[in-house]
Chains A and B, each alone.
Chain A
Amino acid sequence: MRWHRIQALVLRYTYLYTRSVPRVTEILFWPLMDLLVWGYVSVYLHRVGGVSGAANAFMFLLGAMIFWDILYRAQQGVTLSFLEDVWSRNLLNVFVAPVRVSEFVLTTFIVGFFRIAVTIGVLAGLAYALYSFNIFSLGMSLVPFFANLLLMGWALGMVTTSLIMRWGQGAEALAWGVPFLIQPVAAVFYPLDVLPGWLQPVALSIPATHVFEGMRQVLRGEGVSAASLAAAFALNAVYLVAAALFFRYMFTVARRKGLLAKLGTQ
Chain B
Amino acid sequence: MTSVSPSAPVKRLAPALAEGIATCMRTDPRVVVWGEDVRIGVMGPTRGLVDEFGSERVLDCPISEAAFVGAAIGAAAGGLRPVVDIMFSSFAYVAFDQFANQAGRLRYMTGGQVAIPLVIIGSAGAAGANAAQHSEVPSALFLAAGGLRVVFPSTPHQAFWLTRAAIESDDPVIVLHHPALAATRGSLEAEPLSLGDAVVEPVGRDVSVLATGLMAHRARAVAKRLAGEGMFVEVVDVCTLNPMPWNAIIASVTKTGRAVVVDEGRLTCSVASELAAGIGERAHDALRAPVRRLAVPDVPIPFAPNLEAAVVPSEEAIAAMVCEVARA
Do these two chains interact? Answer: no
A residues with a Cβ closer than 8 A to B are none
B residues with a Cβ closer than 8 A to A are none
